[in-house]
Structures are given as C-alpha cells and as structure tokens.
Structure 1
Amino acid sequence: MKDGLKQRLVAQARAEGFDACRLCRPWDVRHVPERLAAFLARGYHGQMGWLEERSQWRGAPEVLWPQARTVIMLGESYTPECDPLAGLEQKTSGNISVYARNRDYHDTVKKRLKRLARWLIDAAGGEVKVFVDTAPVPEKPLGQAAGLGWQGKHTNLVSRELGSWFFLGSVFTTLDIETDPAEVDHCGSCRACLDICPTKAFPAPYQLDARRCISYLTIEHKGPVAEELRPGLGNRIYGCDDCLAVCPWNKFAVAAREVKYHARADLVVPKLADLAGLDDAAFRERFSGSPIKRIGRDRFLRNVLYAIGNSGEGALCHVAQAHCEDADAAVADAARWAVLRLRRDANGLE
C-alpha cells in the first residue's frame, strides 16, 4: 500500500463533496445474515421480494464480490433547511419526504462515487465497484462497521457528526487499506423515533415491519393500502421523515452543501387539489429528475387521494369524486374512500 493512501483518500472524498469517509472489511458484518433471515421469516419485507431473492448477497458482501478487500463507506448530508414535520399540519397540502424534494440523489451520489473510484485507481491501482442503494449491499450495517454511524432503534443509520440526514454510498476495492473502528450504539434509553411512528411500524426497538411503514406504503407497496392504516398516513404522499426528524442527534447535523438537495419550492407542501389534477404527462413533467417519478402517476395519485380523505376539508370532496371511476383500481378505491371519509367528517360521524 502506498504511504498515506488512506489520508489522501479521505481528503479526496471531502473534495468530491462527501461529508464523511470511513473504511471496513466486506466480512465485518457477520451478524447480517441471521438478522436478515429473521426479518424475512416474519414477512416484514412485504412486497419487496427483491430482498429475499438476493439475500445471499445482501447478507454477505464478500459473496457479492469475493475479490474485494476494503469497503469505503461515504456519507453526504442532505439536512433540510426547515422543520420537515411542519408540513404535516397543512392538511390540504401534501408532505413529501425531505430527500425527494429535488433531484434524485442516486444520480448525484453515484457520480461522486465514480470520480472518487477513478481517483483511487489512478493513485493506487486495484479494481473497484461503486454502489448507492440500488444493489444488494447492506449499506447501513457496513456504515456501522466502518464507524460512520450506528443503526438506531428505527433501524436507520445515525451519526454523531451528521445526525440522521445523510445519504450513503460505497466503493468496494481489491486494495487492502487501513480500516476504522466500528461505531457503537448511542441511543441509550431514548425511544422518540419509536413513539412518533403514526402507524406503529416498530414491533420492538431495532425492528421494522415495513408493511406498516409509511415510506414503504407510499413508495413500494402496490395496490390499495389496508384501510386501518390509511388514517395514519395523514398528508404524507411520498415517504415519511417522522422517525428521523425527532432524533436528538440531529442537533449535530451539518447543512447540506449540495444545492441539488435543497428543496424545490413547488415540492414543499404542494396543494393536494393541484396534484390530483395531474394526468400522466403532467405528472412526468413535474417530477422529471425526481425520485417520485419512479412510482408512476397512479400510485402517486392513490397517495394524494388518501391525503385528501384525511384532510377533513369538505371542499376537496369533488376533487376525489372525479377519480371514483379511474381506470386504476387502487386509485378508484382511494377516491371512493376519500369521498366517504370526507362526507362522514362533514356529518360529524366516526
């Protein structure tokens, strides 16, 4: 290994825009296969069949690429400029997860990873592979093994330097580079993230039942959402930040340096009536370059209609009524549910 490679690597990562850089071995997450197997056995993954299909890779990174000797874990802040929970009080508007209020972070982070990987090859040789949330890589366990943060009681990674608001990326390399000590759990007795969840998606600390998670329900879940869970969605139309937002470690969060992570004005509490009026072409145009685009107009409209039903605003009843015969069964079901709920609210019925 060339002298000072790790120090130069960390400096280069900073220069590329990353806020944290730590290293571990691919085999430093021996506990993952057992935990993943238990998660899958309980059915907590819901419709995310890809978690089960590639579990042998997701549970053991050394199987994914046996030649790899070092994993470089990178963190990049996307800390919001305002309180992400404030929009939940504006019932006639939609609340979008902070990470999705501008460009798709996958594209931005991956470009940085590729530049860093090319620099590493030029500096020391070896082979590399880059990953950012689109391959069967256990990024959060690897992040803890590298000392980037620890998996909190909400199962997300928390950092003493970055709080909860940061994206993860990784560079696997055949080079043998000095690693960092793993991070330990600093949650203590706090359970703020568990208690705030509107749909009670945490059966126990450090366990997530995705089938009840609003992020899963509004993004990954296809078809109608179970009726008993719909009120808990509130006006969240894409993702949910509640468990992240209440973490006390966010007092150490650093501001997002990348302007592409700053919220677009039209994606901060947009009016539900306006969103419900988008046809497929208008939906694609409005969310071009956004991660929201990948769920499609129908699933997005389903979410908007649930929010309309939860708004308590009778004036939105006609907006929902217009979709009661939609060609998509889940949209039509959501529209009818919204109309019925708003009428019940207007009549003072439970």
Structure 2
Amino acid sequence: MASHDLVISPVSSKSELKAFVDLPWRLYVEDPHWVPPLKSEVHGIISPARNPFFDHAEAQYFLARRGQKVVGRISAHFDRLAHSMPAEQGMGPGAGNFGLFEAGDAEIGAALIRAAEGWLRTKGMTRVVGPISLSIWEEPGLLIEGFDHAPTVMMGHNSPAYRAMIEGAGYRPVKQLKTYELDITQEFPPLIQRIIASGEKNARIRIRPVDKSKFDEEAAVILRILNDAWGNNWGFVPITDHEVEHFGKQLKPIVREDLIMVAELEGEPVAFMITLPDLNEAVRPLNGSLFPFGWAKLLWWLRNPQVRTMRVPLMGVVQRLQASRLASQLAFMMIEYIRRNAVARYGASRGEIGWVLDDNQGMNAIADAIGSKVNKVYQIYEKAL
C-alpha cells in the first residue's frame, strides 16, 4: 500500500528487523526523557525464538518508508491465551493488538495502523485493543500524561503526538493505567504507622523476604498468588510457567531479596510485593549497547545498585482477602519494610508504584493513604474491525 511516496511493508529480513529496532534512536534524538533500551533486549522481545510469549501468540511487524528512509513502525499481534479470557475483562475471543508504534507524522501513523488492522483481519480478529507492546505484562498503554520525566524500568515512553494519531484512526479509550510516585525518605502518616504496628503484634502474620537460593520455589509461590489476585482484573492474561522461567532469568540480576516480600497468614503465603531498582538509571548512559564498555559498567552497577528510584511493578493479595482490612494491613507492612531497606541499603529517595488500573479501588486507596501522587497516565484504546 502506498500514499504518495509512503510505503508500508511487512518486515521480512534481518536487516529490516534491525531497522525496526533502530528507528526510535532517530525519532527521539531530541527527547531528553526517552531512555534508550538495550537493543539486544528489544531483539529478544520481538523474536519468537527468544520470547515465550510466542508459545501462545503470533505477530507481524511493519515498516514505513519514504524513499529509502525508514520513518515508522508497528506490530500487529494476537495472544491465544487472551482469547480464552471473558470479553468483559478486556480481551476475549477475536481481540487483536497493535504495539511498538512509532511514526514520524500523522500520515505515517494512519497508514501503519491501517496495515496492522488489515493483518489482524486476515487472522480473523474482530476487535483491536492497543497499544500493547507486546504482552500485557510488558509495556501496555500509550503515555498521555507525564512526559516531563523519564520512565522507570519496564515502562514505556512515546511522543505526545501519538494520541491524536490513534484517536484519529477511530480508537476510543477503554482503560487507563496510572503510576504513582512518592518520597520514600519520609515516614508514612501516623495512622499507617499504627496499622503496621498492629500487624507486627499479630502472631498470625509474618512478612518475610524471598530466599534467592530457592528462586524457582519462590517464583512459584508468587505466581500462584498473582494468578489468583489479578485473575478478575481488566486485561488479565495468565502467565505461563515458561514465561515465569524466562522473566525470572531476565530479572534475576536485579532481584534483591530484601526488596521482595511475601506475606504469610497462619503460615500460608497470601500476598507479595516485588520492588526493582530502576535499571533505567544504569542503562540510559549506554545508549542501547553493551559494547565496548557498557557490559562492564552494568555489571559493576548490578553488584551493588545505588539508585534514586525503586519501582513496584507487581503486588497482589489473594482474592478471598481483598475486601478485608487485612489486605490493606499486609500491603502497608510490605511497603514499609521495603521502604526502609530501599533507603538504608540502596540510597533510594523515590518510589514508583504501578501500573495500577484506574478502577482498582483498593490499590488506588493504598497509594493515596501513603501520600503518593499520580505521575504518569497510560491509556489503552479499542476499536471494532
């Protein structure tokens, strides 16, 4: 398909994949808040041989060119596990996705979205939910608020112009994802401290750090809680054992035992909280490459990460406790223990919680209670094909 000298074509070679990965370096060269990802990591995400997402998903990548110059990109993909979920939870039968969207101008954006929709139609999809790059567990949503500071590890950043492109293509907002930031050098309000102190006197409750020497067992405990806790959430897609193993290997270098807590009630694990040092602080100066000296700098940082920001990407309490006061108490206790460790051992001063669904009343209330403020908003859209 072509418009004037604009041509959209499917990616079909290694050189085109390289061009697909490299494009953002040109588009964001003047954006001070864009964090260049490690190119090897991006290639790993989009490679069916390296990403277990493709055990249950298919994707096609497209490039936009004007003459010989690459000026845009997009992925079209669908997840068969998402098709097994109820439609009222956001995905469901016939739901396809687009993601990894970058476009130099509105004409390019419109043409790329049409190409993605066309491919999804050929695969029998009846609805598009996006942008999601590529899995709901990776980088979902389009940044619409919070362009004035860099994203933390595993969070997206995009041009403010993309909102008009996507909405101009007929997409309507369906869900917002928020991130919250807070000053973790400050103690929490007295009421929260009293709730934590009360929990510490309760013999039924135990908050413990994970044991990295039992990595696989601990990952299984967290996965069991996660799939239960998040099972009714909008957009939820179960994580497979293969994906847990894969993510575990990826995250193991930045996992710190004292930053991941499991809450037990009468000996049963019922809640967890994962906190990660903001790897983006170490990756940003490398400009996408571990060579020639980037790998040494990163390894040195990983030995004892000293960071400004800690991110909480995942937190969950089993469903049977979610409506109880105990759920909030366990959450406050885990947050406080990790806060203390983050400040004392890693020099952190800032925390970021998220993403959090806009209708997750429990988590939004917890974020408000500890004095955190929304610092970024991501939007997910949908459109019937």
Quick check: which one's helix share is greater? 1
Question: If the length of structure 1 is used for normalisation, what is the TM-score?
Answer: 0.29
Q: Give the strand-richer structure, 1 or 2.
A: 2
* TM-score normalized with structure 2 length: 0.27
